[in-house]
Structure 1
Amino acid sequence: MAMGRPREFDADAALDQAMEVFWRHGYEGATIAQLTEAMGINPPSLYAAFGNKEGLLKAALDRYTAKRAAWMDEVLSAPTARDVAERMLMGTADSQTDPDNPPGCLLVQGGLACGTGSENVPFELAARRALTEDQLRERFVRAKEEGDLRPAADAAALARYLSAVSAGMGVMASSGANREALRQVANVSVKVFEEQSAK
């Protein structure tokens, strides 16, 4: 029996290209033709490597979140809750208006306007955003324990707030808002954390 030819493509480079297509067009808007052209492979190779379009999205999201992990570690290592918020939101303003990348955030853009047949995609994206929210909540719990935040501060609500502002900034960026507009949102939002500070 003849053996099929091995996949002859750089999976990481191909995923970077797929990630950009999903980022620009969302899951629903990204076609197999666009994905395979960007990745430099044919449809059978895509299906052999990733199973289907949703499998490709999950692999692209894994790559995106792995790249983002080092930045998140830097955000969480800020000395105070206020600094965590500032680092995250200013970083969001800068990254989501970076001319080298599509505007906005893949974890927001990827699931916009998903229709029948792709119901799992928004849940997949929400689950990944929830991981960030969990990290923030744990960091703010620690901030309370260290006396940085007021005893009455709600760590979960602050984490949810920061996640919501970050996602909203992603939508703004994808709609054409510039870096200065996003930084204005960040500056106002950081004041919430200043008000919750125990110092």
Structure 2
Amino acid sequence: MAGGRPRAFDVDEALERALELFWRHGYEGTGVADLAKAMGINPPSLYSAFGNKQELFAKVLDRYAEGPAGYIREALAQPTARMVVERLLRGAAEATTRPDCPPGCLTVQGGLASSSGAEAARDELTRRRTAGEAALRLRLEQAGIDGELPDGVGSADLSRYFATVYQGIAVQAAGGASREQLDRVVDVAMRTWPTGSSGN
């Protein structure tokens, strides 16, 4: 036989199935055998195509960022800081309660409870959450420079506050909160937006 056999599975579809499994059960709660079964391939094919479990998880997180969590990128492109934050929170309320997806957020829940063997995955999730908060902080710092925020408002504290609300939305969704309930949470959070500036 000349040459190797072509892959007998669709890579994109396999990654979607892995994404759902990691999203539903977290990194540590998802075994390689479970992944291989859900993806419709055997473990050797999984390792050959995607690397080890940690490497597969990183690919899944990239896919998650481009797909279900794509609203984050859209939010950061909004023209005012207030619109950025509201789009971020509304997007979280929508994405974490979609009927066609597991409840909650993969990057918030994926590694909350993990043993020493899952430290790399937990660190990767922490890195990504920290990068998201840093991007929000930079946007709010620019808002301060542009006069969108009142003098004396700390962009670091404000970004951490809204990041905490954002992550809380994901936790509430995982516990069964509805889109409508979470939208009301966003309403309350947005009423805390600093007043007294041209950005209101």
AA matched with 1:149: L
Shift of 1:84: 1.6
CA displacement 1:137-175 (0-9 Å, x = unmatched): 111111111111112111122222222211111111111
TM-score relative to the length of structure 2: 0.90
| Aligned residue in 1 for 2:83 | 83
Greater Cα offset, 144-153 or 61-70: 61-70
| Aligned residue in 2 for 1:198 | 197
Alignment of 1:12-161 (within 5 A): 12-67=12-67, 70-161=70-161
CA distance in 2, matches of 1:3, 1:117: 38
Shift of 1:68: 5.4
Shift of 1:25: 0.5
CA distance in 2, matches of 1:196, 1:39: 50
| Aligned residue in 1 for 2:173 | 173
Structure that is richer in helix per residue: 1
**In structure 2, do the counterparts of structure 1 residues 66 and 105 end up closer, same or farther at CA, with 3 Å as the change threshold?**
same
Equivalenced residue count is: 198
Conserved? CA contact 1:26–1:111, under 8 Å: yes
CA displacement 1:108-129 (0-9 Å, x = unmatched): 1211221131111111001111
CA distance in 2, matches of 1:35, 1:142: 43
CA distance in 2, matches of 1:27, 1:73: 24
CA distance in 2, matches of 1:141, 1:191: 20
CA displacement 1:55-89 (0-9 Å, x = unmatched): 11111011111235742232123232222221111
Superposition RMSD in Å: 2.0
CA displacement 1:90-121 (0-9 Å, x = unmatched): 11111110101110001012112211311111
Other structure's SS at 1:9 match: coil
Conserved? CA contact 2:72–2:91, under 8 Å: no
Conserved? CA contact 2:18–2:38, under 8 Å: yes
**In structure 2, do the counterparts of structure 1 residues 34 and 196 end up closer, same or farther at CA, with 3 Å as the change threshold?**
farther
AA matched with 2:93: A
Conserved? CA contact 2:69–2:95, under 8 Å: no
AA matched with 1:175: G
CA distance in 2, matches of 1:5, 1:44: 14
Query: Can you give the 5+ residue segments of structure 2 that lack an aligned partner in the other structure?
Result: none
Q: Aligned residues: percent identity?
A: 49
TM-score relative to the length of structure 1: 0.90
CA distance in 2, matches of 1:69, 1:40: 25
CA distance in 1, matches of 2:24, 2:177: 15
Conserved? CA contact 1:76–1:84, under 8 Å: yes
Greater Cα offset, 3-12 or 23-32: 3-12
Query: Can you give the 5+ residue segments of structure 1 that lack an aligned partner in the other structure?
Result: none
